C-alpha cells in the first residue's frame, strides 16, 4: 500500500496492534511509511490482553470466554512526520513512550 500511495500521500502507517516495526522511512516519491506503529497498550501482555486466557486458547484450541485487558503500564506507540509545503514527507521518526519498550521521542 505504501508503494501504491507513494507521492500521493504524506503518510502510510499500519496499526495492526502488534509490535512497532523498525522500518520507518521516506519512500522515493516522498511518502513517509512504517509497516506497523505498534499498539498503545501494556506490552507485558498478549496483544494488550492478560496473558493466561489467550495463551490457553492457543494451546488448547478451546474458547474459554472473553479476554480481559492487561492492566500494567501502557506504552504509547506512533510516528512523528514532518512535511513540506507540497504535503510530502521530509522526516519520519518512531515514537514510543512509557511501559516496557525502549523509549524514543523525536527531537523537535
pLDDT digits (tens, 9 = 90+) for 9-38: 999 999 877 789 999 999 999 999 999 999
Encode pLDDT of 65-100 as tens digits: 899 999 999 999 999 999 999 999 999 999 999 999
Which run of H or E residues covers position 97? Answer: strand 89-97
In a domain, 104, yes or no: no
Q: How far apart are CA 78 and CA 59, in angstroms?
A: 31
**Total structural domains in the chain?**
1
Range of the domain at 45: 2-97
Alpha helices of 6-60 — where are they, by DSSP H? 52-60
**Domain assignment of residue 32, yes or no:** yes
**C-alpha dist (Å) from residue 60 to 5, 6, 26, 52:** 42, 43, 43, 12
CA diameter of the chain: 55
Of the candidates 20, 29, 63, the one whose C-alpha atom is nearest the C-alpha of residue 11 is 29
Model pTM? Answer: 0.86
Amino acid at each position: 500500500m505504501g508503494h501504491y500511495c507513494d507521492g500521493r500521500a504524506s503518510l502510510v502507517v499500519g496499526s495492526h496492534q502488534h509490535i512497532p516495526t523498525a522500518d520507518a522511512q521516506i519512500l522515493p516519491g516522498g511518502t513517509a511509511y512504517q509497516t506497523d506503529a505498534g499498539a498503545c497498550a501494556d506490552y507485558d501482555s498478549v496483544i494488550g490482553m492478560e496473558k493466561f486466557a489467550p495463551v490457553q486458547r492457543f494451546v488448547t484450541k478451546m474458547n474459554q470466554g472473553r479476554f480481559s485487558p492487561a492492566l500494567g503500564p501502557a506504552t504509547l506507540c506512533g510516528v512523528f512526520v514532518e512535511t513540506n509545503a507540497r504535503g510530502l514527507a521530509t522526516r519520519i521518526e518512531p515514537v514510543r513512550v512509557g511501559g516496557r519498550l525502549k523509549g524514543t521521542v523525536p527531537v523537535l
